[in-house]
Structure 1
Amino acid sequence: MKRRDFFAATAGAALVATLPNEALAGTVSGDSAPTGAFEVVAAFSGPGPSGIAVTPSGRIFVGFPRHADNHREATLAELRGGALIAYPSAALSLPSDLPPAQRLISIHGMTTDRRGRLWAIDDGKLAGQPIAPGAAKVVGIDPASDRVIASIVLTPPAMRPDSHMNDLRVDLTHGAQGTAYVADSSFGHTGALVVVDIASGRQRRVLAGHPSTQPEAGFRVVLEGRPLSYDASHPTFPVGGADSITLGADSTRLYYSPLTSRRLYSIATDVLADFGANDAQLAASVVDHGEKVMTDGLATDAADRIYMTAGEHDAIMRRLPDGRMEVVVRDPRIVWPDGIFATDHHVYCTLGQWNRLPGFNDGHDLREPPYLLIRAPIGEPPALS
């Protein structure tokens, strides 16, 4: 070090040391201070949560998938009085000897439709086992009666052996009883969207191979200060195609993104729900909305603001209709935010800690229960023009 650089460095150090604490605020990374606030709705000491849905009356439902941990607890439960109640019944939600098509295997993504009915995607996967015929399905339940109103088994070619049916949205503006759109992020490299006509059970796999549904090669993330990436021989992060998914407020477009990507795409539901539309027509309807953040979940509020889990930033963010992004809440306790759901007043989110699974950490389970379900206020939405 040159003499003048040494004196400049030591003079600066002395100056900082004599400044009052208030003047040091700018020298500390803003990441050390949380932004916004959330409340813990529930803390789960058992299996990790994924899907979350809240009905207009305030009933809260949580999904506990079994594809990473073949647990013996309920895979779908209602949070009632601080306790988890197997839903819609213990016979359907707990492990049993019933055929896979007649029970819930591994509930993953969840949503409600405009009539307040609960919908879930059963990814059908038990850890370490192939997906059994009849296991993967779209399930609809009416909370008014607590009865199953739909159970549509996903079959080939819409379903693949390496499918990972991750999340879904239900559009009541298309089809006699609505249309379900499912994001298949795949346990391999074959992501796609799956379209299901609820009335007939007709289904098809679309945009398979299209860039909007595929994982980005060489994708890297930084979670909890660790650079992570997918490597088949030594994975520290999963590879994932079409994963997070949400309908626009008026259901005219479906927004989605691969897990290993930072881009947001959408497609017109008029085209997506049309079983007569060919691959070229589907591809022509896809819009690339540019970069966002790496997301594992998307949700939309009544003002057409899209909420995003932002695991790299320990945050929940949202995209405004004009494309601007803002932070809703940021806190170091937000470890791999997963399922997300927006009501009129709050955004709910499950914190799955999936990056801490043994498969990404040389066989060491680094998860630290309890797993949290949180919610953050979103303020009054602006009136739509």
Structure 2
Amino acid sequence: MTKCLPDQIMGPSSESSLQHGVSRRHVVGGVTLAPLAAGIAAACGASPAQAQQAPAQGTSTTGVNGDQGYEPAGTFEIVADFYGPGPSGVVVADNGRIFIGFPRHAVNHKGATLGELVNGRVQPWPNAALSMPSSAAPADRLMSIHGMTLDTQGRLWAIDDGKLAGQPLQPGAAKVVCFDIAANRLLHSIVLKNPVLLPDSHMNDLRVDLTHGPQGTVYVTDSSFGHSPALVVVDVATGAQRRVLATHPSTQAEPGFMAVVEGVPLVYDPAQKPRFVVGGADGITLSPTSDRLYYAALTSRKLYSVPTAILSDPKVSEADLAKSVRYEGEKGTADGLATDTQGRIYTTNFEHDCILRRNTDGSFDLMVHDPRILSPDGIFCTKTHVYCTLGQWNRLASFNNGQDKRKQPYHLIRFPIDAVPSYTAAPE
């Protein structure tokens, strides 16, 4: 009998491929998928999903007694390749279903903004009426899905940043949405409004805390398309929303911040047009018990946290909330953050083309490093794997004198949380 984990993602014709050692790819509907063992997916009772087994990416010797950080390290799989819109947010349900957000704030594309990977295609989800462009009012459809997460009840939450490239932010466009995955049904749509929503807001990512509030509390990072970042707190039951820590150092992009991106030293100057992806509060993640929220500005190397008991309480003053913020040390040039069941935080790193893990004692491990890990963005932990989208955002035309330097395909990758054991047939 075949045994599998809930998040094992397999392709439709993998058995014959594995028998013949084939690594060919299928290209259907804008997604490239390579087959891996469909019988395992069937044994799990999951719908046929997809994954591509990438070749081993080297050993974890980068740095200490190894190379100086140029060679690949760690092992990851390419779950899917994307042609067309670039991917951002990612969620993997317990039964292996994969959902991807394709935001429209950088490129106003005509594809689905929220999709499920099904049999080699990006299927608009929960349906085409919501996910595809239409003439419906901004409040009645999905405009630009960015950050995504699961709550502890297995429901999918996403932040619709509401922004279409080249257009002003429309009323009703930016919102927090929640879906019942099993029923493919929209459960909540909470429109974000002034004064929480600013004209230059970039509602970027979110986490959902079901331990505070009758129906839970949502925490959103507004990284800002301008210079007005903050955290946003939304009570699900009432829809009440607050903008907090808008002037606190923990949410701000740091002037003079310098990063080396694909070998080019780049400096953030608020008075100049950005030459790389910059912003305030961006990465966000909860502790396993939801008692603490961790967050970080994109244009900063600093990680902060705040107790959710204080953050979720509208009676707490801004001054007292600021006093409760704790500096957690540096985390590198992180975009997305995710937490595993042991409380370890995974941080993407666009400067070193890698993904790091911050252990509970504050130390870090290098999980994967590879030149293909460009602009690692949305990141998600299952019980056994970490998934991450690679959108090549630093290569957008807006950062390269009008020249789009992205090279398709874009990737969705995953790597195991625990090291894969190695075996040898040599005698001891």
Show structure 2 runs of 5+ residues with no match: 1-62, 421-428
Give distance in 1, aligned partners of 2:356 and 2:182: 32
The partner residue of 2:174 within 122, 133, 136 is 136
Residues 49 and 351, structure 1, Cα contact 8 Å, conserved in 2:
yes
Q: Quote the residue 1:248 is aligned against.
A: 287
Pair 1:159-2:197 in alignment: yes
Work out whether 1:119 is the aligned partner of 2:166: no
Counterpart of 2:88, as a letter, is S
Give TM-score scaled by structure 2 length: 0.81
The aligned residue for residue 342 of structure 1 is 381
1:209-248 superposed matches below 5 A:
209-231=247-269, 232-248=271-287
**1:267 aligned partner, one-letter code:** V
Is 1:291 aligned with 2:330?
A: yes
Q: Is the Cα contact below 8 Å between 1:34 and 1:329 reproduced in 2? A: yes
Aligned match of 2:353 in 314, 320, 327?
314
What is the aligned counterpart of 1:324 among 351, 358, 363? Answer: 363
Which amino acid is the alignment partner of residue 414 of structure 2? R
Describe the SS at the equivalent of 2:351.
helix
2:183 counterpart residue number: 145
* 2:280 and 2:299 in contact (8 A); partners too: yes
Distance 2:243 2:184 in 1: 30
Report if the CA contact (8 A) 1:189-1:239 is conserved: no
TM-score by length of 1: 0.90
Determine if the alignment matches structure 1 residue 193 to structure 2 residue 197.
no
8 Å contact from structure 2 (residues 230, 245) kept in 1: yes
1:52 maps to what in 2?
90
Q: Secondary structure of 2:322's partner? A: helix
Retained in 2: the 8 A contact 1:188–1:239? no
Instruction: Look up the SS of the partner of 1:312 in the other structure.
Output: coil
Deviation at residue 228 of structure 1 after TM alignment? 1.6
Structure 1 match to 2:8: none
Residues 72-118 of structure 1: CA deviation (Å, up to 9, x unaligned): 00000001122110000000000000000000000000000001100
The count of residues paired between Structure 1 and Structure 2 equals: 357
Q: What is the aligned-residue RMSD (CA, Å)?
A: 1.6
Q: Does 1:208 align with 2:246?
A: yes
Percent identity between the aligned chains? 62
Shift of 1:26: 11
Instruction: Give 1:267 shift.
Output: 0.3
Match of 2:411 among 361, 372, 379: 372
Q: CA contact under 8 A between 2:387 and 2:414: conserved in structure 1?
A: yes
Residue by residue, what CA displacement relative to the aligned partner does 1:361-380 show, whole Å, maximum 9, x if unpaired? Answer: 11110000100000011118
Q: Say which of 144, 166, 186 aligns to 1:106.
A: 144
1:221 positional shift = 0.8
Distance 1:142 1:331, change over 3 A: same
In 2, Cα distance between the equivalents of 1:191 and 1:229? 19
Q: 2:321 aligns to what SS in structure 1? A: helix
For 1:20, the equivalent position in structure 2 comes to none
Residues 52, 349 of structure 1: 8 Å contact kept:
yes
Q: CA deviation at 1:282?
A: 0.5
Q: Which has the higher helix share?
A: 1
Take 1:178 and 1:235, find their aligned partners in 2: how far apart are those partners? 36
CA distance in 2, matches of 1:26, 1:141: 45
Aligned match of 2:46: none
Q: Displacement, 1:29?
A: 3.9
Once residues 335 and 311 of structure 2 are traced to their aligned partners in structure 1, the CA distance between those partners, rounded to angstroms, is 22
For residues 149 and 27 of structure 1, what CA distance do their matches in structure 2 show? 52
Instruction: Provide structure 1 residue ranges, at least 5 long, that are not aligned to the other structure.
Output: 1-24
**What's the CA shift string for 1:252-295, capped at 9, x where partnerless?**
00000000000000000000000111111110110001111111
Name 1:363's counterpart in structure 2.
Answer: 402
Once structures 1 and 2 are overlaid, which stretch shifts more, 230-239 or 248-257? 230-239
The answer as to whether partners of 1:42 and 1:372 remain within 8 angstroms in 2 is yes
Query: CA 1:348–1:26 in 2, change beyond 3 Å: closer, same or farther?
Result: closer
Say whether the 8 Å CA contact 2:255–2:268 is kept in structure 1: no
Q: Relative contact order, CA 8 A, sep 6+: which one is greater? A: 1
Q: Distance in 1 between matches of 2:194 and 2:254?
A: 25
CA separation of 1:364 and 1:302: change in aligned 2, threshold 3 A: same
Deviation at 1:227, TM superposition (A): 1.0
Structure with larger Rg: 1
